[in-house]
């Protein structure tokens, strides 16, 4: 298991541990080893996916490989993104093939589809990816590498593409901004009025990964991972307010900001004025690609069912003093 200390990777480790499966949890930073203290069956190790020798050592004896290690910083240099997300993936797949592991799973991202893929209907796995920004392009390159090695060396491989992942523990820049905004800023969505988006809880990403690996994986299988029922921005704002009410904590300021945000969205003029107030006071939740819709019909056809299919419940599940709301994958 690579990327075990990450937002998604940690959820997979927990799911495997809870299911009684022994896990070799591979992390990049030695300081992350202590995060797994007390988790039954988890053996944390430190290794760099750019070091094939270290990978071979920690991977020896593994039945399956879950590859969640990635550089997710959108503004990282292109060369660094490519090295980690593509070259690192090649190292993982070559090591896995050499050690004859049973199967491997690559965690990609819906960012591979790009911003121009929506043709007025939910995007399926049959839509040709058209990544337009560095992160998405690097993940798409990683997909290509994994599938190339899988085809050439006979390693059964599954690729998942999570969409707009929410959940506690998200440490991405967007996740941090959204957590702060939920308690201290107006939340606006100038590009979202009348539009819908998909989402998925981090726990469901982990459950889907385990579910797909339990099926006999075959080469070149790709799955979107997102709750198939989309939510409108207006519904999301109302869910935000209800989740705050249900959290049972003293949230008078966040509640007032949430109500004000919900009222502002009804007035394009006031919303426009608010968006000019600056990041200190306003958080614009809309991001390029967030209003694309995705289909999980292929995943559902395997018998998988989402646990977190209510956006309000997803938000409420993240409520807490440190990690009230999640972010994007």
The per-residue pLDDT for 260 is 74
**For 75, how many CA atoms within 13 A lie in the half-sphere containing its CB?**
3
Cα pseudo-dihedral 212, 217, 218, 224, rounded to 10: 10
- E-strand stretches of 83-122: 103-107
Q: Please report where in the chains the tokens 């599938």 appear, as a residue.
A: 147
Q: What 3 state SS string does 4-65 have?
A: CCCHHHHHHHHHHHHCCCCEEEEECCHHHHHHHCCCCCEEEEECCCCCHHHHHHHHCCCCEE
Q: Measure the CA–CA gap between 178 and 309, rounded to whole angstroms.
A: 20
CATH topology of domain 7-167+199-225: Rossmann fold (3.40.50)
The mean pLDDT of 130-138, rounded to a whole number, is 91
pLDDT at position 169? 76
Most confident of 78-92, 112-126, 155-169, 193-207: 78-92
Percent of the chain with pLDDT over 70: 77
List the domain boundaries for the chain: 7-167+199-225, 173-196+231-291+312-317
What pLDDT does residue 282 have?
67
CA distance 133 to 75: 10
**Can you give the pTM of this predicted structure?**
0.87
User: Does 97 or 199 have the greater pLDDT score?
Assistant: 97
For 69-116, what is each residue's pLDDT tens digit?
A: 999 887 899 999 999 999 999 999 999 999 999 999 999 999 999 875
Query: Average pLDDT over the chain, rounded to whole?
Result: 84
**For the ranges 64-78, 202-216, 270-284, which has the lowest average pLDDT?**
270-284
Report, as an integer, the average pLDDT of 225-250.
Answer: 80
pLDDT in tens, 60-73: 999 999 999 999 88
The CA distance from 150 to 129, in Å, is 19
């Amino acid at each position: 298991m690579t990327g075990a200390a990450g937002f998604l990777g940690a959820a997979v480790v927990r799911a495997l541990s809870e299911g009684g499966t022994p896990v070799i949890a591979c992390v990049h930073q030695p300081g992350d080893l202590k995060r797994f203290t007390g988790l039954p069956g988890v053996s944390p190790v430190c290794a760099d996916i750019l070091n094939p020798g270290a990978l071979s050592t920690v991977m020896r004896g593994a039945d399956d490989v879950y590859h969640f290690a990635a550089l997710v910083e959108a503004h990282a240099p292109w060369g660094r993104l490519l090295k980690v997300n593509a070259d690192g993936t090649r190292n993982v797949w070559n090591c896995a093939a050499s050690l004859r592991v049973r199967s491997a799973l690559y965690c990609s991202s819906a960012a591979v589809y790009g911003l121009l893929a929506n043709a007025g209907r939910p995007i399926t796995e049959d839509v040709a990816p058209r990544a337009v920004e560095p992160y998405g392009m690097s993940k798409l390159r990683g997909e290509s590498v994994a599938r190339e090695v899988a085809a050439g060396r006979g390693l059964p491989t599954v690729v998942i593409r999570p969409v707009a992942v929410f959940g506690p523990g998200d440490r991405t820049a967007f996740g941090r901004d959204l957590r702060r905004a939920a308690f201290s800023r107006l939340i606006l969505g100038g590009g979202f009025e009348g539009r819908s988006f998909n989402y998925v809880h981090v726990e469901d990403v982990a459950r889907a990964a385990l579910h797909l690996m339990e099926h006999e994986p075959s080469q070149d299988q790709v799955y979107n991972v997102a709750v198939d029922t989309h939510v409108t921005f207006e519904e999301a704002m109302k869910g935000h307010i209800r989740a705050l009410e249900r959290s049972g904590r003293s949230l008078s300021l966040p509640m007032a900001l949430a109500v004000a945000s919900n009222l502002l969205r009804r007035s394009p003029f006031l919303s426009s004025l608010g968006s000019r107030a600056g990041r200190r006071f306003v958080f614009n939740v809309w991001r390029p690609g967030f209003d694309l819709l995705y289909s999980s019909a292929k995943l559902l056809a395997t018998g998988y069912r989402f646990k977190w299919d209510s956006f309000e419940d997803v938000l409420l599940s993240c409520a807490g003093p440190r990690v009230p709301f999640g972010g994007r994958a």
